[in-house]
Amino acid sequence: MTEQDLSREKLIEKLADLHQEITKLKVTERVFHAQNELLRSFVTISKTATGSLMLRSLAQQILNTASNLTQADESNLFLVAPDGTVSESIGTRMTSLLPPTNALVGKSIDGGIAGWVQQNRQIGLISDTTHDERWKPFPGYSHTTRSVLCVPIFRGHTLLAILTLMHSHPAHFRYDAAHVMKLLADPIASILESATLLVKHQSSHTSSSANSSAHLFPKAREKTSINSSESAATIERNLSSQPNPNPKEPIDQFSNLGLYIIRREGKFLYVNHQLATLFGYSFEELLELESILALVEKEDFDRLFDTIEQCIRGQSKNISCHFQGQHKDGRSISVEMCGSRTKFYGKSAIVGAIGIK
């Protein structure tokens, strides 16, 4: 071999090494951006939701980020309790994933790829589900899955969650996807741990929060088995882009703002404490009302009901209106309301703000 051949060979080796380094840097960059996206979502969600709603919204954002990063068709996330049972289950599709996965809450994960991952405490990769006995779809599961990547989320030695990514084509998930998710697992664990600690902190400071799941409306949640295609992080984005209900007096200049998410018939999915304060109620009293329409004077009831229903049905994108509200002490108060239609847990909802002048 000539000196020229040796030089060429060394150059090829250096180019290969350089290519490998570039690939590593690209992977690191992707994970870094995904981590930043999750951190921003956590900050936003923690400002706009609490309790179980915050955890589920954050879990949905984790699914969205992981799915985008790996180009997964479907995904689900099991939050694991200290005793190893499922405390929450969230999926990207309401129609096929949510009912069966919700049936696992409070139960152990037996069998399937998630059970294998929990038992072996390592990433599970299935190239083709037709040749791997670890793949056991839920009864009634309609999505055709051929490739699966199942990732355990640890904080130290404690298993916090199990994230499962699915695709309809065999061998979609390979070593590179597994490596990316392994890198992202630590940031996910940190965020989930922080969210869990925040929920505990909120519960310890407000005894009533433990009973009402801190800003959740249990009756509304029981009546609506829904799964999020758009997380609570949309609240901040939607509120920042609301139409100005009164150009001479912008809603962000009101002395106080109440935030809400409502569904059909004005039924609450979320409110903040300030909304209760505006109408003279305690937070617990407002929970019992169940609907925003209970705060409206009779003469404006039908008009606001129609406005809400038209927005929910998609006949209008935004709400920007004025109505006479009824304070707890019987006073009539002038209320400005703005909001926009969105998808929250897979169902049409309105997210917005209320101000009293």
Q: How many domains does the chain have?
A: 2
Asked whether residue 62 falls in the same domain as residue 116, the answer is yes
Range of the domain at 348: 218-356
- Are the beta carbons of 97 and 114 closer than 8 angstroms? no
pLDDT tens per residue across span 243-290: 443 433 443 333 357 778 788 888 887 777 888 889 999 888 887 887
Among 212, 234, 252, residue at a domain's last position = 212
Residue 150: pLDDT band with limits 50, 70, 90: very high
Asked whether residue 33 falls in the same domain as residue 181, the answer is yes
Asked whether residue 72 falls in the same domain as residue 141, the answer is yes
Among 212, 233, 258, residue at a domain's last position = 212
Nearest to 252 by CA among 238, 242, 260, 237: 242
- What's 82's domain CATH number? 3.30.450.40
Asked whether residue 79 falls in the same domain as residue 127, the answer is yes
Please report, rounded to a whole number, the percentage of residues in the chain having pLDDT higher than 70.
75
Residue 95: pLDDT band with limits 50, 70, 90: very low
Asked whether residue 254 falls in the same domain as residue 201, the answer is no
Model pTM above 0.75? no
Among 171, 197, 212, residue at a domain's last position = 212
Asked whether residue 277 falls in the same domain as residue 339, the answer is yes
The answer on pLDDT for 136 being more than 50 is yes
Please report where in the chains the tokens 């006949």 appear, as a residue: 315
Asked whether residue 230 falls in the same domain as residue 135, the answer is no
Region of poorest pLDDT, from 148-157, 166-175, 243-252: 243-252
Asked whether residue 10 falls in the same domain as residue 64, the answer is yes
Asked whether residue 223 falls in the same domain as residue 189, the answer is no
pLDDT tens per residue across span 310-349: 999 989 888 889 999 999 999 999 998 888 777 665 678 8
- What's 315's domain CATH number? 3.30.450.20
